[in-house]
Chain A
Amino acid sequence: MIELDLHLQRGDFSLQAQLSSSSQVTGLMGPSGSGKTSLVLALAGVINPVKGWIRVRGKDFYNSERGINLQPEKRKLGVIFQHDLLFPHLSVRDNLLFGYRHTPQALRKLNPDEIFELLDLGLLLERATDRLSGGEARRVAVGRALLTSPCLLLLDEPLTGLDLNMRDRLLAYLLRLKKELSVPMIYVTHDFSSLAALADQTALLTVKPVEKNRRSARVAAFGQPFQVMAGLENDVFAGGIENIVRGEVIEVDPQRGYAVIRSEGLSLRTPLNNNYPGAESYITIRADDIILSVGSLPKMSARNIWKGKIEEIQNFPSTALVTVNIGPRIRAELTPEAVSELGLKPGTTVHALVKVKSLRSVVLAAK
């Protein structure tokens, strides 16, 4: 159980956050500059709120009225910082055991060998930290935090800076932590597909400018990831609008160069990634990666060509969102000119075209 109600101030930025979550994995999403990292640092005790309170699993971490401010080392949180922050003067092994050695014997719930195996760290142990790839360093950071047997793991954008393949692999490790160790987590991201895969509930932070360069952020919504995302419908999300489809992997064909995922009667051709037949996957498609076409189609390289009917067109000052029913509903972001030139309106039959490479899939688990 994580409960907080606080006011944070950092320079010209202020954050008003109220949150109460009893989920195992709580997401924290929002555009950059919305205070996600600040909130994590306040939870960890690295920065202090102006006022308010934080309570985690019944323990008061901070309470400005009662004068409580638990030191970071007393909070028993595992923090995975954005830049890993591995100690450069220590080997990978000593980095991993750093927190473990500072944890009293009676409180050690996880065994190093178990964690090394779970995160495949065995071969890295004797290396220097500057001899690690981005993904390896991130795994070491996760292992180091886990070995303090934390009561809560704070992950601050753990997938940022990793290439697509590494992202999917690390996400698979995080899903393993969730399933096998049942560690409670706060997962910070601006990547919705990983959030949907990992988090049970999520908070959405939004930020808006207030007079004179000052920005003010708050928790705008809280709930299941898809509900929170649905609430954003009329809002143009800073990271672009993403369509998310959940489906089952039907086949993986390296020769043709794609995997086929079926969702609500629709076949989606996605990059191979870590897909395997029978796996359950989330697919994300950015709304501005979708092309709509009317009339008959010439031969085309796009491997995803879906026929459907337009249900709704929402017009914004310089962009339009077109919702098309192709089995699942997807939204395409077009220019207003394209909408008028093609004569698009609700009821028009269109083809939606997307390249295989524009689809992202995240494997959840085998059915």
Chain B
Amino acid sequence: MSQAELSAVTLSLFMGFCAVSLCIVPGVLMALILARRSFPGKILVETVVFLPLVIPPVATGYFLLRLFGQKSLLGGLLAGLGVRVVFSWSGMALAAALMGFPLLVRTVRAWLENVDPQLESAARTLGCSRIQTFFSVTLPLSWPGIVAGSVLCFARALGEFGATAMVSAGTPDQRTIPLEIFRHYQTPGHEEAVLRLVLISIALSAAALAMSEVLIRKTAPARALSSQPGEAR
């Protein structure tokens, strides 16, 4: 494996971790809101959150360029502070996070909806405040969903191409595995490198999935799903 390929693998992994770190807290909060609250305009919020799943990733990248580009208001403001978002790794991380966010929210939300709200009421009557209830009941019971959601988010960031390509400067230090694969693919005689990187990316994603399965099995109360009210004992 060449130096450039190694750097692409490292950068991809780094993007994955960045995306998960950026998404985890807002993602769990968003999942909690969508699972437990109903409010006017909820459908609009859902649409916006899940939009990156369905629109072309390149469009998401374009949107980021317009939002954070040097000529935009936000981009200009940040540039004044010496922060450069587009054509830098921070922009790439942002793009990866944006693409992974809906996957994390969806997965966590499904698990949260499985946690019987009556269990939370029971915790309240046993002396827990709302926040204590979240940490002692809701979180442990939806933990497998958070693990699974994080892994999906991580894997999505690892393989993100369209949006990342838009905000990457394309310099060697800003190429993730997919970008590197595409570059090699376009260069005649680099088929071996393409194959190698494809295999590496498959292996990384498979490893992440396998690890999440193990973590879910270790942390999941198999019973978390069997405490629905009305179920016969």
- Residue numbers of A with Cβ under 8 A of B are 41, 44-46, 71-73, 75, 77-79, 81-83, 85-89, 98-99, 102-103, 128-130, 133-134, 137, 144-145, 148, 161
Contact B125 A78 (CB under 8 A): yes
CB-CB under 8 A from B72, the residues of chain A are none
**Is B126 on the interface with A (CB-CB < 8 A)?**
yes
Quick one: which of A45, A102, A134 has the most chain B CB within 10 A? A102
Contact check, B124 vs A46: say whether CB atoms are below 8 A apart: yes
Residue of B nearest to A161 (CB): B233
**With contact pairs A78-B125, A81-B122, A102-B127 given, residues A89 and B230 touching in the complex (Cβ less than 8 Å):** no
Contact of A85 among B141, B224, B227 (CB under 8 A): B227
By the criterion CB–CB under 8 Å, are B233 and A137 in contact?
yes
Residue of B nearest to A86 (CB): B227
Complex Cα gap A204–B124 (Å) = 28
Interface residues of B in 101-130 (CB under 8 A from A): 116, 118-119, 121-129
Structural contact, B119 and A85, CB atoms closer than 8 A: yes
8 A-B pairs with C-beta separation under 8 A: A46-B125, A72-B125, A79-B125, A85-B121, A87-B137, A88-B141, A88-B224, A102-B132
Residues of B within 8 A of A103 (CB): 127
Contacting residue for A83 out of B118, B125, B126, B221, CB 8 A = B118
What is the predominant secondary structure among interface residues of chain B facing chain A?
Answer: helix
In the complex, what residues of A have CB within 8 A of residue B118's CB? 81, 83, 85
| Separation of A83 and B229 alpha carbons in the complex (Å) | 6
Checking A73, A85, A86, A88 against B129 with a beta-carbon cut-off of 8 angstroms, the contacting residue is A73
Assess the B124–A71 pair: CB atoms within 8 A.
yes
Output the nearest chain B residue to A104 by Cβ-Cβ distance: B127
Interface string of B134-157 (1 = CB under 8 A from A): 001100110000000000000000
Q: Could you tell me if B227 and A98 are in contact, using CB atoms closer than 8 angstroms?
A: no
| Distance (whole angstroms) from the CB of B137 to the closest CB of chain A | 6
Considering residues B119, B140, B233, which has the most beta carbons from chain A within 10 angstroms of its beta carbon? B233
Chain A residue with Cβ nearest B141: A89
Bound-state CA distance A133–B223 (Å) is 15
B186: CB under 8 A from chain A? Answer: no
Task: Please pick, from A46, A102, A130, the residue contacting B226 in the complex, using a CB distance under 8 A.
Answer: A130
Contacts of B119 in A (CB 8 A): 85, 87
Distance in angstroms from B58 CB to nearest chain A CB is: 43
- With A72-B121, A134-B233: A88-B223 Cβ-Cβ less than 8 Å: yes
A103 to B132, CA, bound (A): 13
Decide yes or no: A75 and B125 within 8 Å by CB, A83-B118, A87-B119, A102-B132 being known contacts.
yes
How long is the Cα–Cα vector from A88 to B228 in the complex, in angstroms? 11
* A72 pairs with B124, CB closer than 8 A: yes
| A145 to B125 Cα, complex, angstroms | 8
Q: Within the assembled complex, what's the spacing in Å between the Cα atoms of A137 and B223?
A: 14
A175 to B226, CA, bound (A): 31
* Alpha-carbon distance A308/B120, docked complex (angstroms): 56
A residues in contact with B122, CB < 8 Å? 79, 81, 85, 87
Contacts of A46 in B (CB 8 A): 121, 124-125
Within the complex, what minimum Cβ distance (angstroms) separates B139 from chain A? 10
Q: Please, which residues of chain A bring their CB within 8 A of the CB of B127?
A: 73, 99, 102-103, 148
Q: Provide the residues of chain A in CB contact with B222, threshold 8 Å.
A: 130
- Report the nearest B residue to A72, measured CB to CB: B124
User: What's the minimum C-beta distance from A196 to chain B, rounded to whole angstroms?
Assistant: 27
A152 to B140, CA, bound (A): 29
Known contacts A81-B118, A87-B137; A102 and B125 CB within 8 A of each other? no
Contacts of B126 in A (CB 8 A): 73, 98-99, 102, 144-145, 148
Neighbouring A residues of B137 by C-beta, 8 Å:
87, 89
